[in-house]
Amino acid sequence: MSRVSTNWYVITGGPSSGKTTTVNLLKERGYLTTIEHARHYLDTQRLKGRTVEEVRNKQREFQLGVLEMQIEQEKEISPDVLVFLDRAIPDARAYYRFLNLEEDVKLSEAMETVYYKKIFIMDCLPLVKDYARSEDEIAQKKIHTLISEVYESLPFPVLHVPVLQPEERVDFILKNL
């Protein structure tokens, strides 16, 4: 399978970099957006009675579950639609590397077909912990670096989004489509 051109923009970066806030502001301005699947996967597992710790303790299963959700979502979006993705398939490669997990064949195959119009990597903000975020500042920086490395190795334009006020970040992105 080959890469198909899309009109998709990826909003990514390490934990606590303002990705979801930015995506939500884009949605408020009328743009089509997607959800972040790691948090969604955790929420679906919590509804099944599992704790966040139980889910996180099985990292391979967790990463594969998130990846499968991301692959399914990207299959369902028309390549012609302008959409802002809250993370994308290549983020999984960065997390597999961070966790020293052997790359799943589903990830390798998906990486051969992905195509994004542009990648916006959000510079990190101070780390804010919540029920779904277990990383510390060292992990935050390492994940951010791995995400940058993965996307910069792909044949898509990458732009780093500086730390600005949330609305200013959205303006920066929209000026740089």
Question: For 39-78, what is each residue's pLDDT tens digit?
Answer: 767 777 777 887 777 767 788 888 898 899 899 999 999 9
Read off the pTM. 0.91
Longest dimension (CA), the chain: 44
In the predicted model, is pLDDT for residue 97 greater than 90? yes
pLDDT for the residue numbered 133: 62
pLDDT for the residue numbered 3: 78
Helix or strand (DSSP H, E) at 120: strand 118-122
pLDDT tens digits, residue range 152-170?
A: 999 999 999 999 999 999 9
* Residue 73 backbone phi and psi in degrees, to 5: -60, -45
Residues 6+ positions from 1 with CB-CB distance below 8 Å: 109, 112, 113
pLDDT for the residue numbered 132: 62
Lowest mean pLDDT among 41-45, 106-110, 139-143: 41-45
pLDDT for the residue numbered 136: 83
| Cβ pair 95, 139 in contact under 8 A | no
- Exposure string of 91-118, with b = 16+ CB inside 10 Å and e = fewer, is bbbbbbbbeeeeebeebeebeeebbbbe
Domains belonging to the chain, first-starting first, are 8-175 (3.40.50.300)
Decide which of 94 and 133 is more confident.
94
